[in-house]
Amino acid sequence: MDSNRLSATLAKALNEQMTGEAHNAQIYLAYAAWASEKGYDGIANFLFRHENEERNHMMKFLEYILKRGAKVVVSAIPDPGPNPTSINNCFEKVFQSEVENTERIYRIVEMSMAEKDWATWNFMQWFVKEQTEEETLAIELLDKIKVAGGEAANDSALYALDRDLQATPDDAILAQDVTVEKP
C-alpha cells in the first residue's frame, strides 16, 4: 500500500526548498567567515547564529517530507557566491537572499493551495511567519548600517555596530506581538 501523502510536484518543491535552506546556511557561513577574517567578530557571531537557524529550517523540510511518506532527495548545495565587498554590501546581500527565500516559500504555499494539500499548507505557515521575522531582522540590519553611515561608515561606527550585533537577539519582534506597553 502506498503511504506517500505528497504529490510528486510538491515532493520535488519541498526537496528543492530543503536544499535551498542548506544553501542559505552556506551563505551565512561564508559571510560569517568573511566578517571574522575582517575582524568583525560580533557580526560574524550574528551570522554564525543565523547559519544554524538555516540548518534547522533544512531539517524541518527533511522531517516533513519523511513524515508524509515521501522520498528525501539530498543533492549538492549550490555555491554561496562571491563574498561581500563591505559590511553595507553584506547586509544588502543578506536582505536580498531572505527576500528571494520568501518568494520561494510563497510559491510552495500557492502550490499546496492549488492542490488542496492542507497539511503542507499548514506546515508552510510556520515558514511564512519565520520569513516575516527574517526579513524584519534584515531590514533592521540595513537600518543599523544606514545609521552608521552606509558604505561610508567609519571605523568607530563599524566598531559600535559590531559590538551591538554580538548581543542582538536571533528573533525580531513582529508587528502582531507589539503592545502599547511594549512598542
Q: In angstroms, what is the minimal distance from the CB of 52 to ligand FEO?
A: 11
Q: By the 8 A CB rule, do 54 and 28 touch?
A: yes
Among 54, 92, 117, 162, binds ligand FEO (CB under 6 A): 54
Distances (CA, A) of 45 to 5, 29, 31, 37, 52: 40, 10, 11, 12, 11
Closest CB to ligand FEO among residues 108, 153: 108
Check binding of 98 to ligand FEO (CB under 6 A): yes
Among 57, 68, 93, 144, binds ligand FEO (CB under 6 A): 57
Check binding of 21 to ligand FEO (CB under 6 A): yes
Q: In angstroms, what is the minimal distance from the CB of 58 to ligand FEO?
A: 8
Q: What distance in Å separates the CA atoms of residue 144 and residue 87, rounded to the nearest whole number?
A: 11
Check binding of 17 to ligand FEO (CB under 6 A): no
144 contacts: CB under 8 Å, gap ≥ 6: 91, 161, 164, 165
Q: What distance in Å separates the CA atoms of residue 66 and residue 60, rounded to the nearest whole number?
A: 10
Closest CB to ligand FEO among residues 57, 144: 57
| Residues that bind ligand FEO in the complex, under the rule CB under 6 A | 21, 24, 54, 57, 98, 101, 134
